[in-house]
């Protein structure tokens, strides 16, 4: 039973990280859209509301957050909890 509980906890970490990342992307997208109007004169060959740039940036950030949260979770699943406790 302990192994199943460990997997649930390990899966909950990346899910929570992804939810936080999606929320941050939404707030950042709104802020970028509003502030893009102010820096429109400084942009070269890019519109202030360039959907491709917004989507590419969001995709890279979400992929990075996913990898950064899943890799430690997978490493955690390989460790036996009893051996980890004995090591301490």
Per the listing, tokens 């360039």 go with 50
Answer yes or no: pTM beyond 0.75. Answer: no
Residues in the chain: 88
- Smallest CA-to-CA distance from 68 within 9, 16, 8 is with 16
Alpha carbons 42 and 71: distance in angstroms, whole number: 39
From the CB of residue 28, how many other CB atoms can be counted at a distance below 10 Å? 14
Q: How many domains does the chain have?
A: 1
Q: Which domain holds residue 58?
A: 2-87
47 vs 88, residue with greater confidence: 47
Question: How high does pLDDT run on average in the chain?
Answer: 81
Can you tell me the distance from the alpha carbon of 65 to that of 77, in angstroms, rounded to the nearest whole number?
19
Which tens digits make up the pLDDT trace of 5-37? 667 777 787 888 888 888 888 898 888 888 887
pLDDT at 67 over 60: yes
């Amino acid at each position: 039973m302990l192994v199943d509980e460990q997997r649930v906890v390990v899966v909950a970490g990346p899910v929570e990280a992804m939810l936080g990342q999606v929320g941050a992307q939404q707030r950042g997208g709104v802020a970028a859209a509003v502030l893009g109007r102010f820096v429109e004169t400084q942009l070269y060959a890019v519109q202030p509301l360039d959907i491709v740039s917004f989507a590419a940036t969001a995709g890279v950030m979400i992929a990075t957050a996913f990898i950064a949260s899943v890799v430690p979770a997978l490493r955690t699943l390989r460790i036996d909890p009893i051996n980890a406790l004995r090591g301490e």
